[in-house]
Amino acid sequence: MVGFNPDHGLFSYGLGALPPDWPGNYWLHWGLFVIIIIVFVLAMVMAFIYFERRGLGRLQVRLGPNRVGPFGILQPVADAIKILLKEDIVPAKGDKLVHWWAPVVAFAPALMIFAVIPFENGALLADLNIGILYIVAVSSVSVVGVFMAAWSCNNKFSLIGAMRTVAQIVSYEIPLGFSIIGVALIAGSLSMNEIVTSQNIPFILLQPLGFLIYFISACAEMNRTPFDLMEAESEIVDGYHIEYSGMKFAMFYLAEYVEALAISAIITTLFLSGWKGPLLPPFLWFLIKVVLIFFAIVWVRGTIPRIRVDQLMAFAWKCLLPLALINLFITGIEVIVLPQPLPWLIVFLNLAIMAILVLLWSKFFKLGGGRVEV
Amino acid sequence: MAIRTEPFVINVGPQHPSTHGVFRMRVTLDGEVIVDMEPVLGYLHRGIEKLAEGRTYTQNIPFTDRLDYLASMTNNLAYAMAVEKLAGIAVPERAEYLRVIMSELQRIASHLVGVGSFLNDCGAFMTPFLYMFREREKILDLFEMVCGQRLTYNYIRIGGVSYDIPEEFLPALDKFVREMPGFIDEYDQLLAENEILLARAKGVGILPKELAINTSASGPVLRASGVKWDIRKADPYSVYDRFEFDIPTGSTGDCYDRYRLRIQEMRQSVRIIKQAAEQLPQGEVLTRVPLRLRPPAGEAYGHIEGPKGELGFYLVSDNSVTPYRFHVRAPTLINLTALRDMMIGWKVADAVIIFGSIDICLGEVDR
Amino acid sequence: MTVALSGDEIGGRLEEQFPGSVVETGLNSVLVRSESLVKIATFLKTASGLEFDYLSAITSVDYNDYFEVLYQLTSIKHNHSLVVKTRCHGRENPTLPSVVSLWRGADFQEREIYDLMGIRFDGHPNLKHIFLWEGFPGHPLRKDYE
């Protein structure tokens, strides 16, 4: 019974690979994975908060947190304790029920994404055959939480934030979806596990433009710079969570990082061949790739300024959407016309197409409008 | 068919991260577009003009420190010059050179904060801000060396400067002057051609040349609109006529021009410091003036090109130990006059950067 | 170098143009009657050779008997300067004409003087308190303010 079975992944071997007809197997799998996901997510979020703060510190010629524990490693713990002890303030004229539920609605979908992320071959909570569709559906629910938060505060700044949020997330969902379809076309499946197993070479090489579009739209989806318009500290003072404090604020804060983690994991799965890699154990490969993507997100955050709301819309509709459509079209043709054993031809073709398209768009596309006559 | 909308009013400030203090704008918005804006001032009003009427001329110098606390040196200089003009006090040559060095260092420090916080308003998450504070820190170290203070210097006194520079100052200054152009190049590499910054700042918040003159804008705001007017050249004070430097001007008067202009002015300031340090003569640094100075009855207006614009002090003496009237021509207050015109029609996000590009200091606006 | 124009010379020109408007002339200042302030300001702003297009500063001084308001004028085109002074009497409701229509830079400065010195400016588009709150008793920069 004991032994590694590649078809059932890491956890089949630690637990002695229970036979599928054994009673309780199904529930054991569920219970185990729920615990694993929650522990993994919380531990990684802690690590990410620390990583981001130290990393930003390095980017900004300062030290970052370095007082709590060795190298400040306990800083997220200290933050968590501090935030738990803070007073919970509810605006007097706010909608209390909505105000209470908003953080939950924002946080839960971000966590739910992990149900279909394969940490290793077969090591996932539910290998849905529509995994990627499920992700797109679930991740767009969190906008409801954000809008609820903004609405319930009875605050004009947060209302502006909410208006921006809805416009932004609805717009960026479209290029995001199209870039995923490109991957699904090549992989021939919507299941996350199968997308990884079909990646003999990482899809970032086959879908370079798709990767770019996905990365940019995902940054917009989880409101990271340069698309952090809905919180925009210097303009609308943190937008939707302006009136939140204590644990409810912590939920939003956590949700933001969980989303970042989820996006990194999705990109890893879709474009960077998930857990696959030589020498190191698969789980470690997965982790390394996730951290790399997260580093790229932090890097972008530390480097570039924010764009304006009309520019944001223009960028989604006039730049990303046409590019995504062209990319989808070309991918479709390639999948039909070119024979399967020629991936390298597609790699070079797609890289060339990406270079040409990006050049063309950067030359002819101008961001947003100017002054409005009033 | 146009959608019928209803404007609403939001208060930006007095507690808002991008108002650089306690400035308040009552902004009327139609969606995200600004249809009206009214500045509300006075949250930091301390009545310095009235307080100064009860102190002696020397005791007033610390008050000037607290006007524009990001540029205390130049405030000291403008006040000292006004008093010297009023009382007819001559300043030793070495002191004049030191004043020039200090006020140019102060100009760089002030522009660093101005540009840094402008970029912060653009949403560049603290990075340029901290880069610029790294260099500002070096300037503050230099100031600490000469007067022991890092923010309110009280260094330039009536009749000269309070202390001669210590031995280690000139080598440290030399090092700074050699390094600074490299740092400015670094900022340019990071941001000058940044696509997002160009999209955000170019063409935004245009202040036309005629309006700039008409609204008495001064300093970088005026020059960015294309007016070549710098009091250091137009009406040279101290020993500024002995140095070679250019006055950079902008072309359109948008936020990007104001940002670029400050960067270029820093380069010119480095040039001036370099020349001043080379020519620095030996000698006294302070003319002895009585502590209870009694200037002859009369009035004097001393003005300098401060980092943020024309900083002037108008003093009236009635031959007593305290000034009869002490008025500050605050450049940042007057630069705000055109703020409404620059903002109307732009978006909330632009309001913040237009305001940031003017670079005000509330200590001086409200006094 | 900004040339401070001679008050006598400009005063002579003004007296020629608007008889009875100039009260006295100083080294580089002219004291004019408040009634003819706007006329003179318009002339100084537009007359060729003068063209004071830039209003540096406005200041007010309380001399107990009267208030004196000074306009520091500069011409960016010709790089010269002049101080125009005017006076208003009466402590209850001293009033002067506003120059905002000529130099919009006067906007906040006139409001400041109204706020702190209590001089009203006729024709100012938005004469409200600027630093102190509405309903603040008295005007702090006056000499008799306690």
User: At A11, is the pLDDT very low, low, confident or very high (cuts 50, 70, 90)?
Assistant: very low
Q: Name the residue facing B10 among A59, A62, A156 (closest C-beta).
A: A156
Sign of CA dihedral A123, A126, A128, A132: negative
Q: How far apart are CA B78 and CA B61, in angstroms?
A: 10
Torsion of CA B148, B153, B157, B162, to 10 degrees: 10
What is the per-residue pLDDT across C112-121, written as a single tens digit (0 to 9) for each?
Answer: 888 888 888 8
User: At A15, is the pLDDT very low, low, confident or very high (cuts 50, 70, 90)?
Assistant: very low
What is the per-residue pLDDT across C41-81, written as a single tens digit (0 to 9) for each?
Answer: 888 888 877 888 888 888 888 888 888 888 888 888 888 88
Residue A6 pLDDT greater than 60, yes or no: no
Output the pLDDT for position A374. 63
- Say whether A374 and B347 touch across the interface (CB within 8 A): no
- Say whether C106 and B49 touch across the interface (CB within 8 A): no
What is the per-residue pLDDT across B217-276, written as a single tens digit (0 to 9) for each?
Answer: 888 988 888 888 888 888 888 888 888 888 898 888 888 888 889 998 999 999 899 888
Interface check C73 vs B, CB under 8 A: no
Report whether B159 contacts B288 (CB < 8 A).
Answer: yes
Two tokens at B300?
A: 């004097």
Residue A71 pLDDT greater than 70, yes or no: yes
Q: Are chains C and B in contact at 3+ CB pairs closer than 8 Å? A: yes
Output the pLDDT for position A98. 86
Place of tokens 């398209």: A357
Q: Name the residue facing B42 among C55, C131, C140 (closest C-beta).
A: C131
- Say whether B346 and A236 touch across the interface (CB within 8 A): no
State the amino acid at position A166 in one-letter form: V
- Say whether C106 and B41 touch across the interface (CB within 8 A): no
User: At B285, is the pLDDT very low, low, confident or very high (cuts 50, 70, 90)?
Assistant: confident
- What is residue A312's three-state secondary structure? helix
Q: How far apart are CA A217 and CA A138, in angstroms?
A: 16
Output the pLDDT for position A369. 61
Return the domain boundaries, chain C.
3-92
What is the per-residue pLDDT across A268-326, written as a single tens digit (0 to 9) for each?
Answer: 888 888 777 787 787 888 888 888 888 888 888 888 888 888 888 888 888 888 888 98
Chain C residues within an 8 Å CB radius of B325: 59, 61-62
Closest CA to A196 of A271, A114, A110, A253: A271
- What is residue B59's three-state secondary structure? coil
State the amino acid at position B47 in one-letter form: G
What is the per-residue pLDDT across B70-119, written as a single tens digit (0 to 9) for each?
Answer: 888 899 999 998 988 888 888 888 888 988 998 899 999 999 998 888 88
What is the per-residue pLDDT across C9-43, written as a single tens digit (0 to 9) for each?
Answer: 877 787 788 887 778 887 888 888 888 888 888 88
Q: How far is A284 from chain B (nearest CA, A)?
A: 31
Q: How far apart are CA B345 and CA B183, in angstroms?
A: 36
Output the pLDDT for position B193. 79
Q: How far apart are CA B233 and CA B241, in angstroms?
A: 7
Distances (CA, A) of B173 to B102, B138, B166, B220, B238: 11, 9, 11, 25, 20
Output the pLDDT for position A371. 66
Closest CA to B73 of B45, B108, B37, B38: B108
Residue A12 pLDDT greater than 60, yes or no: no
Q: How far apart are CA B174 and CA A61, in angstroms?
A: 23
- Say whether C53 and B312 touch across the interface (CB within 8 A): no
- Say whether B215 and C131 touch across the interface (CB within 8 A): no
Number of neighbours of residue C138 by Cβ within 10 angstroms: 12
Report whether B120 contacts B126 (CB < 8 A).
Answer: yes
Chain C residues within an 8 Å CB radius of B313: none
Q: Across residues B184-213, what is the average pLDDT?
A: 84
Output the pLDDT for position B54. 86
Residue B95, phi then psi, degrees to nearest 5:
-65, -40
Mean pLDDT score of chain B: 87
Output the pLDDT for position A373. 63
Q: Name the residue facing B123 among A305, A310, A370 (closest C-beta).
A: A305
Place of tokens 């070096």: B138
User: At A18, is the pLDDT very low, low, confident or very high (cuts 50, 70, 90)?
Assistant: very low
Two tokens at A191?
A: 């299941």
* Minimal-distance CA residue of chain B relative to C105: B215
* Minimal-distance CA residue of chain C relative to B230: C76
Output the pLDDT for position A182. 85
Interface check B189 vs A, CB under 8 A: no
Q: How far apart are CA A64 and CA A66, in angstroms?
A: 6
Mutation site for A-interface testing, chosen from B12, B196, B350 by largest number of A Cβ within 10 Å: B196
Mean pLDDT score of chain A: 80
Ranking A63-72, A236-245, B33-42, B68-77 by mean pLDDT, the lowest is A236-245
Mutation site for A-interface testing, chosen from B125, B346, B354 by largest number of A Cβ within 10 Å: B125
Q: How far is B35 from chain A (nearest CA, A)?
A: 6
- Say whether A305 and B124 touch across the interface (CB within 8 A): yes
Q: Across residues A223-230, what is the average pLDDT?
A: 77
Q: How far is A362 from chain B (nearest CA, A)?
A: 10
Q: How far apart are CA B33 and CA B351, in angstroms?
A: 10
Q: Name the residue facing A160 among B32, B194, B199 (closest C-beta).
A: B32
**Chains A & B: contacts with CB separation below 8 Å:** 101
Q: Across residues A239-266, what is the average pLDDT?
A: 84
What is the per-residue pLDDT across B159-180, written as a single tens digit (0 to 9) for each?
Answer: 888 888 888 888 988 889 988 8
Output the pLDDT for position B1. 57
- Counting as contact any 3 or more CB pairs under 8 A, the partners of C are B
What is the per-residue pLDDT across A32-68, written as a single tens digit (0 to 9) for each?
Answer: 778 888 888 888 888 888 888 888 888 888 888 888 8
Q: How far apart are CA A288 and CA A286, in angstroms?
A: 6
What is the per-residue pLDDT across B197-211, written as a single tens digit (0 to 9) for each?
Answer: 888 888 888 888 888
Q: How far is C21 from chain B (nearest CA, A)?
A: 23
- Say whether B214 and C105 touch across the interface (CB within 8 A): yes
Determine whether domain C3-92 maps to CATH 3.30.460.80: yes
Closest CA to C52 of C107, C124, C12, C102: C102
Mutation site for B-interface testing, chosen from A225, A237, A243, A304 by largest number of B Cβ within 10 Å: A304
User: At A370, is the pLDDT very low, low, confident or very high (cuts 50, 70, 90)?
Assistant: low
Mean pLDDT score of chain C: 84
Q: Name the residue facing B229 among C76, C103, C131 (closest C-beta).
A: C76
- Helices B93-121 and B169-187 pack at an angle, to 10 degrees, of 30
Two tokens at C51?
A: 């063209």
Q: Name the residue facing A305 among B18, B33, B119 (closest C-beta).
A: B119
What is the per-residue pLDDT across A334-348, written as a single tens digit (0 to 9) for each?
Answer: 888 776 666 777 788
- Say whether B49 and C116 touch across the interface (CB within 8 A): yes
Residue with the larger pLDDT of the pair A108 and A23: A108
Place of tokens 């009466």: C90
Report whether A76 contacts A101 (CB < 8 A).
Answer: no
Interface check B54 vs A, CB under 8 A: no
- Say whether B349 and A61 touch across the interface (CB within 8 A): no
- Say whether A305 and B197 touch across the interface (CB within 8 A): yes
- Say whether B329 and C72 touch across the interface (CB within 8 A): yes
Instruction: Tally the residues of chain B.
Output: 367
| Interface predicted TM-score (ipTM) of this complex, two decimals | 0.86
User: At A10, is the pLDDT very low, low, confident or very high (cuts 50, 70, 90)?
Assistant: very low
Chain A residues within an 8 Å CB radius of B204: 370-371
Output the pLDDT for position A23. 52
- Counting as contact any 3 or more CB pairs under 8 A, the partners of B are A, C
